[in-house]
Structure 1
Amino acid sequence: MIEENRFPVIETDRLNLRQVTKDDAESILAYLSDQDVMKHYGLEPFDSIDDALDEIAWYQAIFEKKTGIRWGITLKEQGRIIGSCGFLNIVSEHRRSEIGFELSKEYWGNGMASEALESVITYGFEQLNLQRVQALIEPPNISSQRLVERKGFIREGLLRNYEFTCGKFDDLLMYSLLKQDYEKMSYST
């Protein structure tokens, strides 16, 4: 799984996916304080730089514990974090992980989330040797459902009252992509 302590950088046509640092706190606060971005995130919108620093500390902790890896999404020409994408809850013995992603609202609808997600999925199957990648998505989050479906994920079912977030129980749809499904997809290299 995550073998080395050096954080991998992923480059796509338009994006660089890199480690998030404390220097990125203002950028993270900018989009994670947006009500629309946080609508299906499972947390209240951020309201302080400390919230952003806590998020960055979580990214660092899951990487150090080898239970996840979260890349900051940047435009190649800028370097400012505009979202994140990565794995959490990696279970090495079963070669599975959850995947998550979010993007600043100003970049919605132009394929950047798709580009970042595709590169992270490829990393998961080819570098982390995953067998299964799963996505847990709230039923009202239609755009995320469509995105993972375009990437080959199969809806497996509804997990009722699966999480308690923001003062309420949320249902989550379980999606999965298996390595053999990924290998049939056109974005496989």
Structure 2
Amino acid sequence: MEKEFPTIETNRLILRKVSIDDAKDMYTYLSDQDVVKPMGLEPFETEEDVWDEIKWYQSIYEKGTGIRWGITLKDSNKVIGSCGFLNRHPKHYRTEIGYELSSDFWGQGIASEALKAVSKYGFEHFQLERIEALIELTNIPSQKLVEKQGFQREGLLRHYEFANGKFEDLYMYSILKEDLQLI
């Protein structure tokens, strides 16, 4: 029995399940080098590439290892980014959070609003104790984004992932359930 995919509503956003019908909108930002490079990906070349991303969203939800919401503005059903959990470890009450947003919407507080809502959802509905964010050293805007939400930098993970043809160092950030009460 598949449970119904949750929808999250904020002041300006609806975070919802994505479908193949969203592939064209998602291609707009997933084909943008500036958006996907910090994710360790090459720009998507076709809408069909986006189908694989959507299938991955579905598979992590079905397996219980994650959940990814499409970010839409309330006045539009167009997906302009995504935010969600991956590498979820229910036994240890922790998960990793990831997000991306179309560059057309950068600097408007949208990613911050989505990140806050998704983190709160995770602590309340998945009984998480810890949410982690792994961020490239050069991705200053993302570092500032998570720090603004109360995440703390814990350290440097040297050569943590192989992306774009080379080993990448990443900063490990985290927020604990108790930290959220302080914000």
Q: TM-score, normalised by structure 1?
A: 0.95
| Letter of the structure 2 residue corresponding to residue 40 of structure 1 | P
Q: Deviating runs (4+, > 3 A) in structure 1?
A: none
Equivalent residue, structure 1, for 2:109: 111
What is the CA RMSD across the aligned residues, in angstroms?
1.0
Which 5+ residue runs of structure 1 have no aligned equivalent?
none
| Letter of the structure 2 residue corresponding to residue 117 of structure 1 | L
| Letter of the structure 2 residue corresponding to residue 110 of structure 1 | Q
Q: CA deviation at 1:4?
A: 6.1
Equivalent residue, structure 2, for 1:141: 139
The number of equivalent residue pairs is 183
Distance 1:39 1:7 in 2: 29
Distance 1:52 1:143 in 2: 25
| Letter of the structure 2 residue corresponding to residue 161 of structure 1 | H
Equivalent residue, structure 2, for 1:153: 151
Question: Which of residues 172, 175, 181 is equivalent to 1:174?
Answer: 172
Distance 1:75 1:140 in 2: 28
2:115 partner SS: helix
Distance 1:96 1:108 in 2: 28
Q: CA deviation at 1:39?
A: 2.1
For residues 137-184 of structure 1, what are the alpha-carbon distances to aligned partners after superposition, in whole Å with 9 as ceiling and x for unaligned?
000000000010010001000000000012111100000001111121
Preserved CA contact (<8 Å) 1:162 1:170? yes
Distance 1:4 1:88 in 2: 19
Distance 2:110 2:162 in 1: 30
Correspondence 1:1-189 to 2 at 5 A = 5-185=3-183
Preserved CA contact (<8 Å) 1:161 1:171? yes
Q: TM-score, normalised by structure 2?
A: 0.98
Identity %: 61
Preserved CA contact (<8 Å) 1:29 1:48? yes
Which 5+ residue runs of structure 2 have no aligned equivalent?
none
Distance 2:179 2:114 in 1: 19
Distance 2:74 2:50 in 1: 22
Preserved CA contact (<8 Å) 1:5 1:64? no
